[in-house]
Amino acid sequence: MSYRTEEVAYVQPAVQASAPAAQQQRSTAEYRALDAAHHIHPFSDMGALNRSGSRVIVKAEGVYLWDSDGNKVIDGMAGLWCVNVGYGRKELADAAYKQMQELPFYNTFFKTTHPPVIELSALLAELAPAPFNHFFYCNSGSEGNDTVLRIVHHYWAAQGKQSKKVVISRKNGYHGSTIAGGTLGGMGYMHEQMPSKVENIVHIDQPYFFGEAQGNLTPEEFALARAQQLEAKILEIGADNVAAFIGEPFQGAGGVIFPASTYWPEIQRICRKYDILLVADEVIGGFGRTGEWFAHQHFGFEPDLITLAKGLTSGYVPMGAVGLHDRVAKVIIEGGDFNHGLTYSGHPVAAAVAVANLKLLRDEKIVERVKTDTGPYFQKKLRDTFANHPIIGEISGAGLVAGLQLAQDPQARKRFANGGDVGTICRDFCFNGNLIMRATGDRMLLSPPLVINKLEIDEIVTKAKKAIDATAQQLGIS
């Protein structure tokens, strides 16, 4: 059954001075009716969403979005952790337009290549840490992690170690939503809807101090204990059967969980000791989020593979990639046919946009600014603003990413019994206050575009404070 546009009653949109000239051809009511009639949203309860109606975003500039009613909203999430250079950068649009005219598509399967993918690979090799000189392309972070699995298995098979098959991941990690990405991730609610998971993937506990530390452990002791679960798991399975460990340097979707400094060095030690590949999923952490180009540099470890997406193109077009450390690349290059690829691997338009995006990040010193200026300002402002707040238990983060833990009793690290509901209440207050701040359970997340200035940071923190105060008030806590 199709829903005909003519049947939708036309409602004159409210005209507001702040609305920029957008190509808005329909009223909000009309958009909502059509969206409800024909569009299934990701990670959504469609029945509930269709009853309440989606917010229609029609235009964006810098760190601001405008909806179809003309409301101006500050984007504390950079879209979905991806719009690192901010909205409305003409350089990226020009790169796409020029490339579409010159060579909109050609494949890289059959002994062919093209300038954009060559330029992008060379540029990534320049920007990534020294041992990362080779890149394989795909269209998303999920496909990146599927590709990681393919590379890991080929790496061991090419060396005659076929028994090394098991990949160890973490509960509450996020690695995408293909079947492999969803299995690698540790989100129980996703696993429940996946009766056929990918084999040979197991999970250990996450380094989530506020939520899971028992007794008097310090954050450093707790993180070390969580890292040592990897060693225990390897010994249980047998090192000859373990191929790799994968983790996000800091968990993004899982709540911006930053492990203490003891965690990653111990993970790296264990991986080296048992000859296990170490994979850093840099889909959120990559391209400046923490103030370093890659989040593993922030935590001071050296992975064997890195998964890239999101900030690679600042989300202007889809693209993902996997970076291979020289020691992995060598084996893959000399390992014969690698039977993996996607029609759009190294897509010329995506590659051209990625090059333009990375040049902006580099030449405008955006990453350096996050490290030395806006990042420290953002972190301090959050910590000063929420020190001793009655429902904020912890602030995690570095650079321009932060997690705010909502808690019943911050001092006692006591969480709300209905934490997810509290997060939703707070998120709705943010939304109504024209701030996009995401809730993961009882943690509020911020990850604004990296081009944000201090005034805009002040605006985000002021609006977040207002929403969190309103949440506390609604709960009767002050």
Ligand X SMILES: *Cc1c(COP(=O)(O)O)cnc(C)c1O
Residues that bind ligand X (CB under 6 A): 140-142, 145, 174-176, 248, 252-253, 281, 283-284, 309
> Which lies closer to ligand X via its Cβ, residue 197 or residue 465?
197
> Which lies closer to ligand X via its Cβ, residue 150 or residue 463?
150
Geometric angle at alpha carbon 136, from 135 and 137, rounded to 5°: 120
Residues 46 and 38: their CA atoms lie apart, in Å, by 11
Q: How far is the CB of 290 from ligand X (least distance, A)?
A: 13
> Which lies closer to ligand X via its Cβ, residue 68 or residue 142?
142
Q: How far is the CB of 166 from ligand X (least distance, A)?
A: 20
Going through 198-313 in order, the beta strands assigned E by DSSP cover: 201-204, 242-247, 277-281, 305-308
Q: How far is the CB of 105 from ligand X (least distance, A)?
A: 20
Q: How far is the CB of 42 from ligand X (least distance, A)?
A: 9
Q: How far is the CB of 355 from ligand X (least distance, A)?
A: 19
In the bound state, the residue with its beta carbon closest to ligand X is 141
Partners of 212 in beta bridges:
none
Q: How far is the CB of 281 from ligand X (least distance, A)?
A: 4
Residues 274 and 236: their CA atoms lie apart, in Å, by 12
Q: How far is the CB of 152 from ligand X (least distance, A)?
A: 16
Q: How far is the CB of 186 from ligand X (least distance, A)?
A: 12
DSSP designation for 79? H
Contact (Cβ atoms closer than 8 angstroms) between residue 393 and residue 407: yes
CA 408 centroid distance within chain: 28
> Which lies closer to ligand X via its Cβ, residue 174 or residue 386?
174
Q: How far is the CB of 338 from ligand X (least distance, A)?
A: 21
DSSP designation for 114? -
Tell me the H-state helices in 364-477.
Answer: 366-369, 375-386, 419-432, 454-474
> Which lies closer to ligand X via its Cβ, residue 140 or residue 374?
140
Which SS3 state, helix, strand or coil, does residue 73 take? strand
Residues 146 and 140: their CA atoms lie apart, in Å, by 10
> Which lies closer to ligand X via its Cβ, residue 140 or residue 405?
140
Q: Are strands 132-138 and 242-247 parallel, antiparallel or unpaired?
A: unpaired
Residues 124 and 372: their CA atoms lie apart, in Å, by 23
Q: Are strands 277-281 and 305-308 parallel, antiparallel or unpaired?
A: parallel
Q: What backbone torsions phi and psi does residue 439 show, to the nearest 5 degrees?
A: -115, 130
> Which lies closer to ligand X via its Cβ, residue 121 or residue 172?
172
Residues 321 and 145: their CA atoms lie apart, in Å, by 9
Q: What backbone torsions phi and psi does residue 62 show, to the nearest 5 degrees?
A: 65, -115
Q: Are strands 242-247 and 166-170 parallel, antiparallel or unpaired?
A: parallel
